[in-house]
Amino acid sequence: MSDFVVVGLGNPGLQYILTRHNIGFLFLDKFIKRYPPVSTVEKKEYVSYTLQTEGMIFHLIRPLTFMNLSGRIFDSLKVTDTILLVHDDLDLPLGRLRIRSNGSSGGHKGVKSIMSVLGTKEIPRIRVGIGPKTLDAVDFVLSEFSNEELRIIDEIVDICVDATIAIAKDGITTAMNRFNSTKVI
């Protein structure tokens, strides 16, 4: 049975729960709701949820650092396998997702922090659209979704769970071909 590590990016704290920057945490919540963990481990800088589905073991990681310091989790989280990041993306419209096998941070400070600590841009990820931004970028990512936007986010995050399982089972190229044209309106 294979293990698969997924890091959902967000900010800890009640005031950030439904903000645009917390897509990764909303994804983790959806995954855990669908597939309840068999174990949960709390560390100083992250919480790890272990669950089994589709013949695989998934380790879902929720950083407890703030977004810009997400890379710090790897000081205590020793990962030898490839990780998958799930995070928000200002450059994608709301209701879209993009799977990438590698590349730059695209200005996302949480991704940049992880790349810096791991010393590579070769990090697969699912980028979830939160754009187009209507305010200053910092104000925008920390703003909350409207009720209509939350409906769209709930649906796209559900699809992200399916995409994660597809990446783990079938590989990133197959998942990209299947999910990169997904659009929820």
Domain ranges of the chain: 2-179
Write down the catalytic residue from 21, 59, 87, 108: 21
Query: Which contiguous run of DSSP H or E holds residue 177?
Result: helix 172-179
- The mean per-residue pLDDT over the stretch 114-127 comes to 95
Is the predicted pLDDT of residue 133 greater than 80, yes or no?
Answer: no
Q: Alpha-carbon distance 23 to 39, whole Å?
A: 23
Nearest C-alpha neighbor of 120 from the set 98, 100, 102, 99: 102
Question: Do 165 and 53 contact (CB within 8 A), yes or no?
Answer: yes
- If you write DSSP's letter for every residue of 146-176 in order, what string do you get? PHHHHHHHHHHHHHHHHHHHHHHHH-HHHHH
* Two structure tokens written together for 172: 């990133």
pLDDT at position 2 is 63
Superfamily of 2-179 according to CATH:
Peptidyl-tRNA hydrolase (3.40.50.1470)
Mean pLDDT of 92-111: 94
Give the pLDDT confidence of 141-185 residue by residue, as tens digits: 889 999 999 999 999 999 999 999 999 999 999 999 999 999 998
Cα separation, 31 vs 60, in Å, equals 9
User: Would you call 87 a catalytic residue per the annotation?
Assistant: no
Confidence of residue 1 (pLDDT cuts 50, 70, 90): very low
Give pLDDT, residue 17.
93
Q: Concatenated DSSP letters for 87-141?
A: EEEEEEETTBEEEESS---TT-HHHHHHHHHHT-S---EEEEEEE---S-HHHHH
Q: Which residue is it, tokens 């650092």?
A: 65
pLDDT of residue 101 exceeding 80, the answer is yes
pLDDT in tens, 35-57: 999 999 999 999 999 999 989 99
Whole-prediction pTM: 0.94
Contact 58, 4 (CB under 8 A): yes
Q: How many other C-beta atoms can be found within 10 angstroms of the C-beta atom of residue 171?
A: 11
**Cβ pair 176, 45 in contact under 8 A:** no
User: What is the rounded distance in angstroms from the CA atom of residue 118 to the CA atom of residue 120?
Assistant: 6
